């Protein structure tokens, strides 16, 4: 998955539906669920690590952790949840 430039991240019915589909195993839904937040998460990881390569690694680790934790997240504030995961991976 690459960092996206799509604006958004609103917590509406669309993201709730994407979360349900991602939980059911849809890779496309998982991609669409977090693409709006990738740039924000990557920039935050870059500020923490000071290295683009390390920020890339933190983002990848965050995506893996988010994928593994989909069954435990509520559909509210997915952006904040994901960015926090990447932040923790960057530290």
Full 3-state SS string of the chain? CCCCCCCCCCCCHHHHHHHHHHHCCCHHHHHHHHHHHHHHHHHHHHHHHCCHHHHHHHHHHHHHHHHHCHHHCCCCCHHHHHHHHHHHHHC
State yes or no: pLDDT of 9 exceeds 50. Answer: no
Task: With cut-offs at 50, 70 and 90, classify the pLDDT of residue 76.
Answer: confident
Handedness of CA 41, 82, 36, 68 (dihedral sign): positive
* Residues 13-64 pLDDT 10s: 899 999 999 999 999 999 999 999 999 999 999 999 999 999 999 999 999 9
Q: All domains of the chain, ordered by start, with CATH?
A: 13-90 (1.10.1740.10)
Task: With cut-offs at 50, 70 and 90, classify the pLDDT of residue 4.
Answer: very low
């Amino acid at each position: 998955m690459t960092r996206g430039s799509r604006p958004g991240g609103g917590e509406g019915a669309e993201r709730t539906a994407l979360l349900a589909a991602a939980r059911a195993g849809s890779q496309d839904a998982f991609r669409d669920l977090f693409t709006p937040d990738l740039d924000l998460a990557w920039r935050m990881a870059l500020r923490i690590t000071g290295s683009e390569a390390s920020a890339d690694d933190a983002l990848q680790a965050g995506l893996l952790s988010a994928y593994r934790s989909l069954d435990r997240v509520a559909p509210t504030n997915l952006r904040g949840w994901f960015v926090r995961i990447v932040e923790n991976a960057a530290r």
